[in-house]
Structure 1
Amino acid sequence: MINKSRTINIRLVEESDAEFILKLRLDEKYNQFLSDVNPDMQAQRDWIKKYKNDEFLKKQFYFIIERNDGVPCGTVRIYDIKGDSFCWGSWILNENKTRYAALESAFLVYQFGFNELGLKKSHFEVRKGNEKVISFHKKMGAVKILEDDLNEYFNISQEAVLEAKQKLSAKI
C-alpha cells in the first residue's frame, strides 16, 4: 500500500491512538460537524478493538494522518463499502497539519479506495453549514446528489479524482 504523499502519510489506527483520536474528536475547534463521541477513554479503546475486526474483514479502514516527520495531525475513515463505491469521513485535521494536508489526505484516501480496494467511485455526506469542506469536494469534482435537513450527499468518480489530481499535481 502506497500511503505517503509529499508532506503527510496515512497509517491504520492502532489501539494506542485512542488518546489522540479522543482528544481530536472532543476538541470544539474540530468537532462542530462531526457526530458525537463518548468521552470515555476505555470506550474509545473498545471501539478501536471492535473496529480492528472490521478492518480485518475489509469492511472499514480508519487512518491516522501524520506529517512525514511522524507528528499525528488528523484522522480519516473509509466505510460503507457497497458495490463499486466507498464512503469516507471522520476527516479531521488539527493545527499540526501541513499546508496541503487536506488535499494530500483526500488523494491518499481516493488512492486507497480506487487502487487498494479496486472501487470505482465514492459516496459521502457533508454536514450542512460546513461550507469549506463542501467547496473542497466540489472543486475536486464531486457532484451533489441529494440533501436532507442535516447533510448534503455527494458522489465522485475515479475519473474526476484523476482529473483533479492532474490539475493540482504541482501542490502535491
Structure 2
Amino acid sequence: MRHDLVIEGYGYRLRPVGDQDAALVVALRSNPELNRFLHASSASIDDQLAWLAQYYQRAGDYYFVLERTDNGQAEGVIAVYDIDAASASGEWGRWILQPGSMAAVESARLIYQCAFEHLHMQAVYCRTVADNAKVVSFHDSCGISTRRTLAAHFTLGGKAYDAVEHRVSAAEWPELNQRLSKLSQMMQRRRKHG
C-alpha cells in the first residue's frame, strides 16, 4: 500500500518503495546468489512496475527500501505484510540485502520497530525456508524464543520445503530492541572503521 513511513536507524533507514525502485528490486530478485530460496519472479522491470501497482492497492502491506543514512545508497528491501487487523499480527519478509551489506541486524530491528512502534502490532512473525540455514541461524541468534516448523509450507520450483517461523510479541519487543540496538551500533562502528 502507499504509505509515508520513514524509519531512521543508526546507519540505515527504511523508506517507502516506489516505481523508481523497480530496477533495484529486479536486480536483487534476479541475483542467483540471493534468489535460491525465493519464489520465482520476472526479470522484467515492466512486470515489477505492474506488481508495484497492485501492491499500492493492498491494505496491510508496507514495503520498504533499506538505504544508508550517510549517502542514501539502497542496500536492500524488506516488508511487513498480511497484517490481520483482528489479531494485530502480521508477517515480515521480502527481505533481500545486497551481497556484502552490513545491514542485516539493523534492517531486522527497523522492521520490528515499524511493526511495534508505528503500526502498533501485537505480534510479528517471519517464515524462512528451513534449508536456508544462514537466515534461520540469523533469526535464532537474535534470541527469538518462539520458533516452530511448518511442514511443506513453501513450494519453490515445484518442490515443497518446510518453513521455520520465528514469532515476536509486543511484550518481547523492548528486550529484543535492546539486543538488536547494541548489535546495530557495533556493526555501524565496524562499517565506519572498515
- Alignment CA distance shift 1:147-1:118 (3 Å): same
Aligned: 1:28 with 2:32:
yes
Alignment RMSD (CA, Å): 1.6
Aligned to 1:48, which of 22, 39, 52? Answer: 52
Q: Over residues 37-91 of structure 1, what are the superposed CA-to-partner deviations in whole Å (9 max), with x where a residue is unaligned?
A: 122211100111111122xx3x201101111111110000111111221101110
Residue 146 of structure 1: aligned partner: 149
Deviation at 1:2, TM superposition (A): 5.5
Matched, 1:17 2:29: no
Q: Is the 8 A contact 2:109 2:180 kept in 1?
A: no
Report the equivalent of 2:106.
Answer: 104
Count of residue pairs brought into register by the alignment: 167
Q: CA 1:142 to 1:60, structure 2 compared with 1: closer, same or farther past 3 Å?
A: farther
Superposed, 1:40-119 pairs within 5 Å as: 40-54=44-58, 57=59, 59-68=60-69, 69-82=71-84, 83-95=87-99, 97=101, 99=102, 101-119=103-121
Alignment identity in percent? 29
Tell me the secondary structure at the aligned position of residue 35 of structure 2: coil
Distance of 2:183 and 2:57 partners within structure 1: 36
Q: TM-score, normalised by structure 2?
A: 0.80
One-letter identity of the residue aligned with 1:40:
S
The alpha-carbon distance between structure 1 residues 95 and 145, as it changes in their structure 2 partners (threshold 3 A), is closer
State the distance in 1 between where 2:171 and 2:138 align: 17
* TM-score for both structures, normalised by structure 1: 0.89
Letter in structure 2 aligned against 1:9: R
CA distance in 2, matches of 1:170, 1:146: 29
Match in the other structure for 1:158:
170
Q: Tell me, in whole angstroms, the C-alpha distance in 1 between the residues paired with 2:54 and 2:150.
A: 31
1:137 is displaced (CA, Å) by 1.4
The unaligned stretches of length 5 or more in structure 2 are 153-160, 185-194
Farther-moved stretch of structure 1 (88-97 vs 10-19):
88-97
- Partners of 2:80 and 2:115 in 1: CA distance: 8
What is the CA deviation profile of residues 95-140 of structure 1, one whole-angstrom value per residue up to 9, with x for unaligned ones? 362x3x1111111101111111111111221002111211221232
Structure 1: how far apart are the matches of 2:166 and 2:172? 13
Larger Rg: 2
